[in-house]
Amino acid sequence: MSVRITVDLSDDLYRALKARAALSGLTLRELVRRYLEQGLRQPSPPGAGAGRRRPPPVIVPPRGVPIPALSRAAIRRLEEREDEARPPGVRPEA
């Protein structure tokens, strides 16, 4: 069973996730699911939730190759290439 949810993301966060998914060979949906599963598997330190924020989990793809950080310009170029390759009338995956 799966449940659909709606999450509001900033444009920059959406672009970064989409680029990371493309570089990993994953769909955006699968990448977000993996991030959530990884984050939930990590133990919560004592006092967690009392205003302390932890950094997001880091995913290392199965091949063990680190995913490089991308500049905003590089992310935009990836998105533009993806948009150009998409057939007319097909909406991007959420």
Q: What is the tens place of the pLDDT at every residue in 14-30?
A: 999 999 999 999 999 99
> What is the rounded CA–CA span in Å between residue 92 and residue 12?
16
Q: What is the tens place of the pLDDT at every residue in 26-67?
A: 999 999 999 999 888 888 766 655 566 666 556 666 776 666
> What is the rounded CA–CA span in Å between residue 26 and residue 18?
9
Q: Residue 18 in contact with residue 28, Cβ under 8 Å?
A: yes
Look at residue 48 in the predicted model and tell me its pLDDT. Answer: 59
Look up tokens 């590089």; give the residue. Answer: 74
Q: Residue 75 in contact with residue 19, Cβ under 8 Å?
A: yes
